[in-house]
Amino acid sequence: MTELSPVTEATATKAPAPKKLAVPDTQTVTSVQHWTDRLFSFRVTRPASLRFRSGEFVMIGLMQTDEKTGKEKPLLRAYSIASPSWDEELEFYSIKVQDGPLTSRLQHIQPGDEIILRPKPVGTLVHDALLPGKRLWLFATGTGIAPFASLLRDPQTYEDYEEVILTHTCREVGELQYGKELIDQIRTDELLAELMGEGFHEKLRYYPTTTREESPKMGRITDLMRCGECFEDLGVPELSPETDRAMVCGNLAFNLEIKEMLEGYGLEEGANSDPKQYVVEKAFLD
């Protein structure tokens, strides 16, 4: 798919553009945080014209030299926007793959650096793709928490549901830290609380689990649901198509497994054009 980018003011001028302005759609990195040797998050400036729905993703990346032609060309990957739609900057949460074409380089970005960001948000993890319901489940593994970091800071999430449950399964405890700090921020930030509306604190539930390092709750979320432990812990019944809605974002094997389970509970997959009871998106991997 080729994308035509809007001509920016800088590239529209007649004077020869300096090299860094030859690339359309650049944004400036404002902060970078490394969470583990496999995970980092970063914030960039937001194009003034960019509107998106919480949960959507955009293509971001860096320039790279084409080995055959020697020409510079963009190397782009899909990244969920982790920040809410009202935020003046954009936040992303990424894995670091040491030999990954993009993340092996992206992990070294510093404030002031430029990245490419195509301002065309899309995605299915949006409220519009779900029918009204009582309880919203957000099922994430690894960096799949990113779109939910956006949705959990969106007031609409709490307006639309009586209960919002985030489950996050990671291999190790350190990989839960981004999510833990996100939930802490949502629970303690007074400005955020004001924005979210009354009673949202009681609606938000958080269920982190690890699979390869000891933590208070161990096991894959799929196994914990199958044996009923997850529902017992949370004090809620198994999912039902009448009351429950779900959004899923994780690795491919997880997505497929939980999709089958959700279908087993009687939920059907929705889309922007055909809202139903659950939606799925694959977390970005380099």
Residues making contact with ligand A2P (CB under 6 A): 141-142, 169-171, 211-212, 220, 222, 251, 253-254, 257
* CA-based radius of gyration for the chain: 20
Round to whole Å and give the CA distance between 224 and 271: 27
Residue spans of alpha helices (H) in 18-176: 103-106, 146-151, 155-160
Closest approach of ligand A2P to the CB of residue 169, in Å: 5
Spatial separation of the C-alpha atoms in residues 135 and 108, rounded to whole Å: 39
Residues in the chain: 286
CB nearer to ligand A2P: give 60 or 283: 283
Q: Please, what is the minimum distance in Å from the beta carbon of residue 177 to ligand A2P?
A: 14
Q: Please, which residue, 8 or 215, has the CB nearer to ligand A2P?
A: 215
Is residue 280 a contact partner of residue 248, using CB atoms and an 8 Å limit?
yes
| Closer CB to ligand A2P, 195 or 285, in the complex | 285
- Token pair, residue 92, equals 């992303």
Q: Which amino acid is at 159?
A: E
Whole-number minimum distance, CB 209 to ligand A2P, in Å? 8
Q: Are 281 and 249 in contact (CB under 8 A)?
A: yes
Question: Which helix (H) or strand (E) segment is 59 a member of?
Answer: strand 57-65
| Between 57 and 254, CB nearer to ligand A2P | 254
Give whichever of 139 and 161 is closer to ligand A2P, judged by the CB atom: 139
Separation of alpha carbons 83 and 104, rounded Å:
23
Contact in structure between 39 and 93 (CB atoms under 8 Å): yes
Residue with tokens 């809007």: 6
Q: Nearest approach, Cβ of 170 to ligand A2P (angstroms)?
A: 5
- State the nearest-atom distance from the C-beta of 285 to ligand A2P, in Å: 8
CB nearer to ligand A2P: give 54 or 169. 169
Which one, 131 or 253, has the nearer CB to ligand A2P?
Answer: 253
Q: Least Å distance between CB 77 and ligand A2P? A: 16
Q: What's the closest the beta carbon of residue 251 comes to ligand A2P, in angstroms?
A: 4
Q: Distance between CA 42 and CA 82 in Å, rounded?
A: 10
Q: How far apart are CA 13 and CA 216, in angstroms?
A: 59
CA distance 230 to 239: 11
Instruction: For the CB of residue 211, give the shortest distance to ligand A2P in the complex, in Å.
Output: 3
Between 39 and 186, CB nearer to ligand A2P: 39
Q: Report the alpha-carbon distance of residue 75 to residue 192 in Å, rounded.
A: 35
